Amino acid sequence: MSHGFVRRESVETEMHRSGEKEKTLVYTKKRGYDVTRNPLLNKGMAFSMEERLQLGIHGLLPPCFISQDIQLLRVLKNYDMRKDDLDRYVFLMGLQDCNEKLFYRLITSDVERFMPIIYTPTVGLACQQYGLIFRKPRGLFITIHDQGHIASILQNWPEKDIKAVCVTDGERILGLGDLGCHGMGIPVGKLALYTACGGMPPQQCLPVMLDVGTDNEALLNDPLYIGLRHKRVRGPAYDALLDEFMKAISDRYGMDCLIQFEDFANINAFRLLSKYRNKYCTFNDDIQGTAAVAVAGLLAALRITKTKLCNHTILFQGAGEAAMGIAELITMAMEKEGLSKEESLKKIWMVDSKGLIVKGRDHLTHEKERFAHEHSQMKKLEDAVKELKPTAIIGVAAVAGAFSEQIIRDMASLNERPIIFALSNPTSKAECTAEQCYSFTEGRGIFASGSPFDPVTLPDGRTLYPGQGNNSYIFPGVGLGVTGCALKHITEAIFLTAAEALALLVTEKDLAEGRLYPPLSSIRDVSVKLAVKIMEYAYEHNLATLHPEPVDKEAYIRSISYNTDYDEFAVESYRWPEDCMAMQSCKL
C-alpha cells in the first residue's frame, strides 16, 4: 500500500473524556526516519514508547511524550509570532508537509480564522510569490513535454485510491491572471479545503499542475520561476495533453474519480467543460461552484425581500466563466419557479469590458450571445444601472471598485432592499467593500462578497456581518456527495440541489445579522448536509453507482470522513528496558 501502511479491519474501542470513540489501529512497514518524515504517519512527540520502540524511532525524538492538544497549543503560539499573512501561509504549509493530522486539527479548530490564510485572499499572494516560498513539492507537475507519458507519471504518485483531483494550467489565477506553474497553490489550497471543510481524507486528494508554459513575461524573466520558460502552448498540442490527462486519470483511478478544473482561462474553461462533462466525472469550480454559491446567496436573499427569483432583474459586472455559470444556474432556478427558458434569459443582463452586451454588438462569443438582448449600446455600468433598474448587481470581473458610490446609491434608490454581490477575489479586486455597501444604502443593502470582510457597525448601532460567498460552501460538499455515491457524471441539477440545500441552512438569525450563508464555523456540518442531499438526488434519479444504497446517508458520509485524531500504531508485545519504563512518567 502507498505510504507503507495499512489499516486493520477490526477496531479497538477506548474510553475518552468525551465518551466512547473508535480507534483504528494502523500497521506500517516504514521504520525510523521514514516514519517521522512522512506527514501521513508522523505524530511528532505524541508517539508512545511502545510505538517508538516498535517503529525504530526511539532516540530520534526528544524523550518527552506530548499529546496532540499540547502540540496544538505550541503551533498556535508559533503561528501568533508570524509577522504577516504570507509568513503565516508558509508556516501552515510547512506544518502540512510535516504533520497532516495536526495541520487539519488546527484548521478545523477555527476555520474562520485560518481559511483566509490557506485560501483566499492569502493564497493569491502566495501564488504570486510561489517561486520564493517554494519548499517541498506537493502534488504532480505534468508538462506539455510529458505528452505520451502521463500514465507513467501517475504511477509515481504513491497513493492508489484517489477520489478527487484538482487541476489547473495556471492561466487565470483568481483575478491575478497568468501565473503559470506558480498557480499550483490553487489546487493545493482547494484540496486542503476538501479535507478541512468536507472531511475527505487528504490521501484521497491529488493536486495537479498542467504546465504548458506562460505568457507572463515577468515570470519568464524571473530567476525564481519554477515552471517551463516558454510561451504557452495552445491548439492541438494543448488539447492532446488534456485528452491524455483525462483518460490517464480515469484509467488509473476509475471513472468515478472526480476531476475538478480550476482557474483555466475563459477560452478553454467553457469548451473543456462541454467536451468532458458527459464523458468523465468532472466540473469546473469557477463556472459551476461559483454559480451554486451565488445562487444560494440569492435564494437566501429572497427570504429577506419576500419575493420569488423570477421577479428579479439581475445585472452582472463581468461576462466570463463565473458570470456565465451563475446566469445559467439562475435560469434553471427561475424555470423551476415556472418561468420559461426564454423569459428567464431576459431577466439577466451583462456588462463586460466593452460595455452592455446587446444584440448586434461585434465579437460576441457563443456564451455571450445567449444573454444579448435588444437594447441600445451602453459603455458604462452606471448608465446600465440607471436604464435597466436591476434589483441585483453581481460583480465577477475582478475590477476593483467597479461598484462606485453612485451605483450603490442608485441601487438603493431603485430598491427597498438592493442585492449587491461583490464576488471577485482576492480582496484587492472586490467591486466594493461591505462598509461601502452598507453605508451608501443606509444599511438596506443585502451584501455578499467573495473574500472575507469584517463586521460593520452602522450609525444606528446595528452590527452587520457580511456574507462571504466563498466556493468552499459548495465544492467540498459536492465532492463529498459525488464521491460518496460514486457518480460518473455531474449534472447542472447537482449544483442547483447544492445551492438550494445551502440556502435552507441559513437561519433567520443569520439573515437578521446580514449573513446570507451559515457561519464558516459550521462548514463541516454544512458540507455533510449538502453531500446527503446530493446523494438523495443521485439515487432518486439513478445516477449513483455505489450499491447497495446507504440507508442512513448522513451516517455513511460521517463514517468515511477524515478524523484529525492521531491513529494508534499496532505494536507487538515488547519487553521494555527499565529505563524506558521510567520515561513513561514524562507525559504531557
Residue ranges for the binding site for (S)-malate? 172, 425, 470
Residue 340, C-beta contacts closer than 8 angstroms, at least 6 positions apart: none
Q: d(Cα 43, Cα 27) in Å, to the nearest integer?
A: 14
Query: Smallest Cα–Cα separation from 515: which of 563, 482, 467, 479?
Result: 467
Q: d(Cα 465, Cα 44) in Å, to the nearest integer?
A: 39
Q: d(Cα 312, Cα 302) in Å, to the nearest integer?
A: 10
Q: d(Cα 111, Cα 519) in Å, to the nearest integer?
A: 10
Beta strands 392-395 and 419-422: pairing type? parallel
What does the block give as the cell for 286? 469557477
495552445: which residue's cell? 234
* Binding-site residue set: 172, 262-263, 286, 425, 470
Residue 355, C-beta contacts closer than 8 angstroms, at least 6 positions apart: 361, 377, 378, 379, 380
What does the block give as the cell for 30? 516504514
Q: 165 - beta bridge partners?
A: 206, 259
* Binding-site residue set for a divalent metal cation: 262-263, 286
Query: Smallest Cα–Cα separation from 387: which of 365, 358, 361?
Result: 358
Catalytic residue from among 101, 163, 190, 533? 190
Q: d(Cα 26, Cα 422) in Å, to the nearest integer?
A: 47
Beta strands 25-28 and 5-7: pairing type? antiparallel
Q: What is the dihedral of CA 529, 535, 537, 541, to 10 degrees?
A: 180
Q: d(Cα 233, Cα 215) in Å, to the nearest integer?
A: 10
CB 102 within 8 A of CB 72: yes
Q: d(Cα 554, Cα 151) in Å, to the nearest integer?
A: 36
CB 133 within 8 A of CB 146: no
CB 274 within 8 A of CB 288: no
Catalytic residue from among 119, 194, 253, 438? 119
CB burial readout 491-511, b (16+ within 10 A) else e: bbbbbbbbbbbbbebbeeebb
CB 248 within 8 A of CB 180: no
190 noted as active-site residue: yes
**What is the CB neighbour count within 10 angstroms for residue 59?**
10
CB 513 within 8 A of CB 464: yes
Q: 7 - beta bridge partners?
A: 26
Q: What is the dihedral of CA 349, 353, 355, 361, to 10 degrees?
A: -90
Q: 23 - beta bridge partners?
A: 12
Which amino acids are annotated catalytic? 119, 190
